[in-house]
A and B are shown apart, each in its own frame.
Chain A
């Protein structure tokens, strides 16, 4: 799968409270409505900027630290975020992203600036920075996670196989 979009770049240690605040996540299970608040704590315009044409959320280390809320990857998906590129991820967010079908790429994001045009090739394990004309390799997902992502997330995996088929 190849994905193309612009980079929207943020910093280290972005926690799930910043991705979607607790004060919103308890209001409903309507992720489309909740998505307008995605990343609000760091960038109030995130939804307005990313939703129309899609984008890659690019960050530093420990992206998605904190709470287990699955609303975090869901509001990013519903704000048209195509994938997250970060130097490292917090464990629970990483699983939640795979389970909900949001690609996560662990790579050297120092080589990406805000606004760069990127192409992410998940099978080849390479991020092509079209603005800079450079390539950033990344290790492929372990087979279990690649299977879940290829099936479209854990719910679709269960529907397809009637349970775990890993």
Chain B
């Protein structure tokens, strides 16, 4: 702190990983604690390594490739990409998460590959998810990923930070997804471009680790490089039994310098929905209630966790999916599928009419597992609703919380889930 000012979480993590006194705006070469790629990006990274003339990774225990976006393979081209990844694992010793293991952004923290205080990069834009467990994690392209796999380091511009202090208490039936959709609508798709976000306040404190990940996951949807939170007692409890290393939580200084600071009171927040075809095209659910839907989807790196499946099962228990609606559920990992079976959630969801697909990205990316038809509306817990995102440019994707999706698939139209939470419980 040569200038005498306090530091943000990002500045502290970059200082520790670059051996410099890093402040926002600096360009540093920093050591990374982990590098990850998925099946849409790893093959290009592996090809880039070959073109660099590099035949090994810097530390096989710190590199993983995950088959999640198009898995199990629906076509021979994808099968060939998966083979490239398996061969890479055999050749270098890097960890391979094969078909059925789950979504990379669930597996990397769940399997303990990163711990609070880490710096990591992943070849997927939603790598920012682990900011929820105090990891500076950010998405990079395949060539950056290849360089990090080879050298164990990468160059970074230390970002400025936009702080969100979230006060109040979320109303019943309103969830962390509604918070981040509200913020996306408020600041727009480039509202935090090049910046890190920091989230704090009583609302964050009250959320589970699962629910916090939903918020950090969507930091990229406003252009941010990371979506950071403190590691508190909940975070450290979540890490018990996972993680090969001891967490080293990093808190921002009380006098840290923020580029922007927002303070919101969320006590009156209503369920939020992002309308086609932009994530920042957000409105309160009242404005879209009644819109007919033909498909519902609960899953993804945003909302495919145990708590999400539990919320959906709670609403659907003893009820049926509307006969004109397909309802697809993709648990975010094999462990979540097992836990959801043990909790009875999967039984409940299937009895209600859900089609449960392989742990992974499900239909989010338009490669398999539920491509909508022309003119259809989809209500989804995913993080993106761009035209064509789910594989059909003539379909319309709405984004909401697992509760909003569950309530909507029962009635066949977008439905406010709060009626299932009267009295504060299901």
A residues with a Cβ closer than 8 A to B are 13, 15, 17-18, 21-23, 25-29, 41, 61-62, 65-71, 73-74, 88, 90-92, 95-96, 99-100, 142, 144, 153-155, 158-159, 163-164, 166
Contact = CB atoms under 8 A, between A and B. Distances in A.
B387 interface: yes
B112 to A, nearest CB: 23
Nearest to B75: A27
Contact of B190 (A61, A99, A144): A61
A17 B384 CA distance: 10
A17 B389 contact: yes
Nearest to B76: A27
A22 B387 CA distance: 11
Interface of B: 27, 29, 39-41, 43-44, 47-48, 51-54, 69-70, 75, 77-78, 80-81, 84, 123-125, 127, 139-144, 146-147, 150-151, 153, 155, 157, 189-190, 193-194, 220, 223, 225, 278, 365-367, 384, 386-389, 391, 393
A137 to B, nearest CB: 21
B42 to A, nearest CB: 10
Contact of A158 (B39, B147, B193): B147
B124 A67 contact: yes
B39 A26 contact: yes
Contacts of B155: 144, 164, 166
A163 B151 contact: yes
A22 B385 CA distance: 12
B69 A26 contact: yes
Contacts of A22: 40, 69, 365-367, 388-389, 391
A38 to B, nearest CB: 14
Interface pairs A-B: 9 shortest CB-CB: A96-B141, A62-B190, A70-B141, A27-B77, A99-B143, A158-B52, A68-B125, A68-B139, A70-B142
B41 A23 contact: no
Nearest to B194: A91
Contacts of B139: 68, 92
Given A17-B388, A29-B81, A70-B41, A154 B223 contact: no
A13 B140 contact: no
28 contacts: A17-B387, A17-B389, A18-B388, A21-B366, A22-B40, A22-B69, A22-B365, A22-B388, A23-B391, A26-B40, A26-B78, A28-B80, A29-B47, A29-B81, A41-B388, A62-B189, A67-B125, A67-B384, A69-B141, A70-B143, A71-B44, A92-B125, A99-B141, A153-B143, A154-B143, A159-B53, A164-B151, A164-B155
Contact of A164 (B29, B141, B225, B367): B29
Contacts of B48: 154-155
Contact of B77 (A26, A69, A163): A26
Contacts, number: 143
Contacts of B367: 22-23, 26
A158 B237 CA distance: 41
A68 B124 CA distance: 5
Nearest to A157: B147
A144 B193 contact: no
B109 to A, nearest CB: 18
Contact of A62 (B47, B80, B193, B389): B193
Nearest to A101: B143
B144 A99 contact: yes
A13 to B, nearest CB: 5
Contacts of A15: 386
Given A29-B44, A66-B384, A91-B193, A100 B143 contact: yes
A19 to B, nearest CB: 11
Contacts of A142: 27, 157
B67 to A, nearest CB: 11
A39 B43 CA distance: 22
- Highest count of chain B CB atoms <10 Å: which of A22, A100, A153: A22
